[in-house]
Amino acid sequence: MRSAFAALAITAALGAPASAQTLNVATAGDQNMVDYIKDYLGPMFEKSHPGVKVVAVGTGPGDSGSQKIFEKLSAQKAANTPAWDFDVVVIHQKMAGDMAKEALLMKYRGDIKTGSLVTRETAENSLGADVSGYVMPMFHSQTAIAYNADMVKDVPNTYPELAAWAKKNPKQFGYNGIKGGMSGVAFVAGWVYAFGQDGDKLMKGPYDAATKAGWDKALADLKDFNKNVVITPGNAGTLDMLNRGEIAMGPVWVDMFYTWQNDGKLPPNMKLKLVAPGMPGQPMYYAVPAKAAQAKLAEEFIALATSPDVQAQGIVKKFNWYPGIDAQHLEGKLDKADWQKLFTDITPADLASKGKPFPIAPYFNDILESYEKKVAN
Amino acid sequence: MTQSRLLALGLVAPALALVAALFLYPLGFSLVAAFTKDGALSLAHFGKAFELYSVDIVYTLFIVLLSGVLTALAAIAIAGTLTLGETPWAVAVLKALYRWPLFIPFIVAGQCMRTFLAKNGLMNNSFVAMGIIEPLQATSLLDWRGIVITFVWKQAPFVTLLLAGAMASLDRSTIEAGRNLGAGRLRVLFEIVLPQVMPTLLVALVLSFVTTMSVLSVPMMVAGSQPTMMTVDMAFRINAYGDYPVANALGVISYAITGLAAWFYLRQSIRREVAA
Q: State which residue of chain A sits closest to B146, comparing Cα positions.
A: A233
In this predicted model, what pLDDT tens digit does every residue of A151-196 receive, in sequence order?
998 999 999 999 999 999 999 999 998 887 788 999 999 999 999 8
Of all residues in chain A, what percent carry a pLDDT higher than 90? 51
A231 vs B53: CB contact, 8 Å cut-off?
Answer: no
* Residue of B55, B224, B233 lying closest to A233 (CB–CB): B224
pLDDT of residue A9: 54
In A107-166, the residues whose Cβ lies within 8 Å of chain B are none
pLDDT at residue B78 greater than cutoff 60: yes
Select from B51, B140, B224 the Cβ nearest to the Cβ of A176: B224
Verify whether the Cβ–Cβ distance A377 to B118 is below 8 Å: no
Q: A residues 215-234 near B, CB within 8 Å? A: 226, 230-234
**pLDDT confidence tier of residue A14, bands split at 50, 70 and 90:** low
Q: What is the pLDDT of residue A35?
A: 87
Q: Is the pLDDT of residue B84 over 50?
A: yes
Residue A12 has pLDDT above 60, yes or no: no
Average pLDDT of the segment spanning A121-145: 90
| Residue A143 to residue A252: CA distance in whole angstroms | 5
Is A178 touching B (CB cutoff 8 A)? yes
Q: What would the pLDDT profile of B43-52 be if each residue is shown by its tens digit?
A: 999 999 999 9
Kindly state the average pLDDT of the residues A306-335: 87
* pLDDT, position A17: 44
Which chain A residues are closer than 8 Å to B53 by Cβ?
372, 377
- Chain B interface includes A62 (CB < 8 A): yes
- Chain B residues closer than 8 Å to A375 by CB: 226
Chain B residues inside the 8 Å CB shell of A373:
51-52
Quick one: what percent of chain A has pLDDT higher than 70?
94
When pLDDT is averaged across residues A93-112 and rounded to a whole number, the result is 90
Q: Does residue A2 carry a pLDDT above 60? A: no
- Is pTM beyond 0.95? Reply is no
Greater pLDDT, B62 or A9: B62
**Which of A71, A241, A377 has the highest number of chain B CBs within 10 A, making it the mutation to test binding with B?**
A377
What is the C-alpha separation between A247 and A254, in angstroms, rounded? 18
Whether residue B119 and residue A63 make contact (CB cut-off 8 A), yes or no, is: no
pLDDT score recorded for residue A7:
54
Nearest by CB to B225, which of A177, A241, A245? A177
pLDDT mean across residues, chain A: 88
B58-67 residues labelled b (16+ CB within 10 A) or e (exposed): ebbeebbebb
CA A182 to chain centre: 10
Planar angle of CA A128, A134, A136, nearest 5 degrees: 90
Residue A147 confidence (pLDDT): 95
Chain segment A36-61, per-residue pLDDT in tens: 999 999 999 999 999 999 999 998 77
- Contact state of B52 with A372 under an 8 Å Cβ cutoff: yes
Neighboring chain A residues of B221 at a CB cutoff of 8 Å? 233-234
Contact between residue A141 and residue A282 where contact means Cβ atoms under 8 Å apart: yes
Query: What are A230's strand-pairing partners?
Result: A174
A250 and A151 Cβ atoms separated by less than 8 Å: no
What pLDDT, on the 0 to 100 scale, is given for residue B225? 77
Confidence class for position A3, pLDDT limits 50, 70, 90: low
Task: Tell me: pLDDT of A64 over 80.
Answer: no
Q: Which residues pair with A34 in a beta bridge?
A: none
Complex ipTM over 0.85: no
| Rounded Cα gap, residues A172 and A230, in angstroms | 7
**Confidence class for position B110, pLDDT limits 50, 70, 90:** very high
Nearest CB to A244; choose among B118, B225, B226: B118
Instruction: Identify the pLDDT of residue B119.
Output: 84
Q: Do A76 and A342 form a contact (C-beta atoms < 8 A)?
A: no
Q: Is the dihedral of CA A212, A213, A217, A223 positive or negative?
A: positive
Q: State which residue of chain B sits closest to A64, comparing Cα positions.
A: B239
**Best mean pLDDT range from A24-33, A102-111, B23-32:** A102-111
Q: Do B224 and A226 touch (CB under 8 A)?
A: no
Q: Can you list the domains of chain A with their CATH numbers?
A: 2-140+282-345 (3.40.190.10), 142-281+353-376 (3.40.190.10)
Q: How far apart are CA B193 and CA B107, in angstroms?
A: 35
Per-residue pLDDT at A98 exceeds 90: no
Cβ contacts of A181 on chain B, cutoff 8 Å: none
Distances, alpha carbon B123 to alpha carbons A242, B36, B119, B127, B147, in Å: 18, 49, 9, 6, 16
HSE-up of A37 (CA within 13 Å, CB side)? 24
Interface residues of B toward A, Cβ cutoff 8 Å, are: 51-56, 114-115, 118-121, 140, 142, 220-228, 232-233, 236, 239-241
Q: What is the pLDDT of residues A268-315, one digit of tens each?
A: 899 999 998 999 998 999 999 999 999 999 999 999 999 999 999 889
Residue B155 Cα, gap to closest chain A Cα (Å): 22
Flag if A179 and B225 touch (Cβ within 8 Å): yes
Alpha-carbon distance B1 to A353, whole Å?
A: 85
Give A196-214 pLDDT, tens digit per residue: 888 888 988 788 888 988 8
Amino acid A18: pLDDT: 44
In this predicted structure, the answer to whether residue B267 has a pLDDT above a threshold of 60 is yes
d(CA A322, CA A310): 12
Q: Does B239 sit within 8 Å of A62, measured CB to CB?
A: yes
Q: What pLDDT sits at residue B156?
A: 95
pLDDT digits (tens, 9 = 90+) for B200-249: 998 899 999 999 999 999 998 888 878 899 999 998 888 777 788 999 99
Cα gap B249→B31, rounded to integer Å: 8
Tell me the pLDDT band of A19, cut-offs 50, 70 and 90.
very low
CA distance B53 to chain A (A): 6
pLDDT per residue over A239-281, tens digit each? 999 998 889 999 999 988 988 888 899 998 999 999 989 999 9
Task: Determine whether the interchain pair B120/A377 forms a contact, defined as Cβ–Cβ distance below 8 Å.
Answer: no
